[in-house]
Amino acid sequence: MRLAPTLLLLIALPAWAQEPAPARQQQLIRMLRQDCGSCHGMKLTGGLGPALTREALAERPLESMAATIFYGRPGTPMPGWRGLMTEDEAAWMARLLRAGAPEEPPAKVKP
C-alpha cells in the first residue's frame, strides 16, 4: 500500500524518473537563468551563445542537447558543465529547455 503513490509516479512519468530533488531543481533553474544567461541572455534569447528558447530548440534532439550541456562544444566558448552537474541533471535540463525554461521566482529581499 505504502509503495503505491511512488509506483504510480514512476509509471506516469517515465521520462522524468531521474529528475533532481526539488531544491536541486531550483538551483539548476537559477544556474540556467543566471549563469547560462551570461552568454545566452537571462531571457535565453541568445548572446555570445545561441538562443535557448523553446522555439529555437524545437528541432534539436534531446540527446544532443544533453551532450552539449554536459561535454560542451569544442572550438566554441561553450564549456562542458560536467564539473558542476551530473549526466542525469544535464538530461533533465535539456528536457526543461525543450519544454520552455521556467522563470525564476523573484528574489526575496528585505524592504
Q: Binding residues for another protein, how many (CB under 8 A)?
A: 27
The least distance separating another protein from the CB of residue 47, rounded to whole angstroms, comes to 6
By CB under 8 A, residue 90 contacts another protein? no
Site map for another protein, 25-64, x if CB under 8 A? -----x--xxx-xxx-xxx-xxxx----------------
Nearest of 51, 31, 47 to residue 39 by alpha carbon: 47
> Site residues for another protein, window 91-110 (CB under 8 A)?
104, 106-110
3-class DSSP string for 20-78: CCHHHHHHHHHHHHHHCHHHHCCCCCCCCCCCCCCCCCCCCCHHHHHHHHHHCCCCCCC
| Type and span of the H or E element at 88 | helix 87-99
Residues at the interface with another protein (CB under 8 A): 30, 33-35, 37-39, 41-43, 45-48, 72, 77, 79-81, 83-84, 104, 106-110
